[in-house]
Structure formats: structure tokens, C-alpha cells
Amino acid sequence: MEPDGGRLSRRTYLHGASVAAAASIAGCAGIGGETDDLTVAYMPIFPDLQYFVMESEGYLDAVDATVNGREFTDGPAIIQAYGGGEIDIAMFGIVPSMIVIDRDLPAKVTAANIVEPMAILAHEDLRSLWADHGPDAFSAWQEQTGRPFRFGTFPQGSVPDVLLRYWLEQEGVSTEAVEIVEIGGANAVWQAIANGEVDGSSIMEPVPTRADVADVSVGTFRTAAEVMPGQPAAVTLMSDEVRSSPVAAQFLEQHVRATEFIGKNPDRTATIVEEGIGMSADLARQALEGPLSNFVTDPRSIESGAEIFSRFAAQNGQIDSELSLDQIFDYSVYKEL
């Protein structure tokens, strides 16, 4: 890595990138509110379920634009594509959305996709120790096993990672008292649990349901609702050009339809999950009935959690400083509905 003196400053670089991205996005979404084509970034994850419903049920046909879905495997790739002006709407995590906004790229969150979708998973032995020792259970675990309790979750700064660190902080447990292993992808987290490579996790569906029904020692210990009421995860981020056009409200109308569909049609939704996300329909049906399947559209439902995540993102150096709710959200599109 070059020394800092050999690089442009972060803000100087990002300002130039912002100008280029704004011009490119304007070309993608049109000028003066006219939008012919929309590129929607999404990920094959449970918290992006509204996209798969909208696509499967033909809801996107009601949007006065050609909607082109583009699948990504991770948030950083979406950030890069957004910075290059390739994306108009992104359905991905609250933290990468904040990074886009912090980089002065023209975008704001217009909707939530889900609220409180994560769970803290822990080995049954730790759960037993907790009953007697509370947060000191981690020390008791190390005394018994000779090693620290090992959590496996997404990389630092991700939504699951922030929830885990926040929970430990609230319980008065130092992150130095445990080991946090970075794992990329929900399937990889599940394999680490099934193989006994980790003792717990902070993760979204389908892993909690899969762990709870499988013959493994790790299971749900705390839900996000117990740890952080209003915990955000995936959101819908829109470019300024899209937000100034009629298609913004049209897209959110279909987002609302999808949210309602999920609640009213669990069997069909489970099939959509199997086809789009790769989780078996039977397991998806169980997950949809569980405490983590809280699909929403109203962005106000995640306000309190967004403030906490903004603090952690700033502490991790992912954003320069904490973002206010006004900087993160544009409520006007949802209010139009």
C-alpha cells in the first residue's frame, strides 16, 4: 500500500467520483423526471424478498419504466456499481447505503425492506452457563474449554456484525473476551456452524431456522427485537434522479404490494424464496412464520436502529462521521403513497 502522501485525499477522490456518478446516473434515469430504464440492484438474501415477489408476480410491470434487475453477491460490489452510475435503485444493507451517502453520491433511503431480521445464535453450553453467570458466561466458557467463545459472522461493519458488537456492548462484554471470525455468505456461516467451527453467530434467515431444526448444538439465543428494537437490515436506496420522477412512488407502491403479499400468501412466498434465494420451500415456510420475518416498507420503522448503525459505521471508519436521519432518509416518496 502506498503512503498517504502518494494518494489523492479520500474526499478529493470521492468528490470527483460523485460528479461523474451524478452525470452517469442522470443519463441512466433521464433528465427532468423522465425515466425510461431502471436498473435495480439486489442480493439473493431473505431481507430482499420484496424484489423477488415483485419480479415473480409481475408487479414491476406497473412501473412506467423498463426495470432491469441486476443480482450482486455483496454490498461492496453494489457500492462500486452505484459509484460508476450503473445503478438507479439498490436493495441492500443499511451500512453500505450509508457509505454511498457518505461518499456524496446522490441517493437516499426511501424504504425499509425488513426490521429486526437477525438473531444471535449460541452454543447450548453457553446458554446453560448464561442462566447461572449472565454475561460472565463467556469467562466461564473459556475456563471450561480453554479457549474464547468463537462467533462466526459477516465481515466487520456488516449488519450482522454490528448487531453482534452492539449486543456485546450492551451486555458489558468486551469484544476481546470473545473471538469474532469473519465469514462471507450465509451458506458459509451455516457450514461453519454445522461443522462445529464456530460456537455462535449473528445472522439472518435462513441460518437461524436451519440451526433450530437441525441436529446441531448452536441455536437461537436472542432475537434482534430483544437486542435492538427497530434494527435495520436491507433497505431500498434510490438515486436523486429517480426520487424526483414519478417512478419512485410507483416502485414503492409495488414494494408495499410485495410486503402485503408476503404476509398474506406464505405458501406461495415460500416457493418464491426457493426459486429466487435457494432456500427450500419447507424451510422458508418455517422461517416466514418465525420472529425474524418482519417485512415492512415504511422507512420510519428503522429510525432508531439506523442511528445506532450510523454510530458504529463512523466508529469503524466506514463513514467519515455519523449521519443524521435527514441525511439517510427521504420520507417524501413513501408519504406520497
pLDDT in tens, 13-70: 333 443 344 434 344 444 334 558 999 999 999 999 999 999 999 999 999 999 999 9
pLDDT for res 188: 93
* Plot region of 314 (φ>0 → left; ψ -120 to 50 → alpha; else → beta): alpha
The Cα–Cα gap between 7 and 336 comes to 44
Over residues 182-211, the pLDDT tens digits come to 998 888 999 999 999 999 999 999 999 999
From residue 184, alpha-carbon distances to 154, 234, 279 in Å are 6, 17, 17
Segment 258-281 mean pLDDT: 95
The Cα–Cα gap between 239 and 68 comes to 15
Distance from the Cα of residue 305 to its chain's centroid = 12
pLDDT for res 35: 58
Q: Look-up: residue for cell 448452536? A: 218
DSSP code of residue 321 = S
Query: Who contacts 5 (Cβ-Cβ below 8 Å, separation ≥6)?
Result: none
Entry pTM: 0.85
pLDDT at 101 over 80: yes
Sketch out the chain's domains with CATH numbers: 4-115+231-336 (3.40.190.10), 118-227 (3.40.190.10)
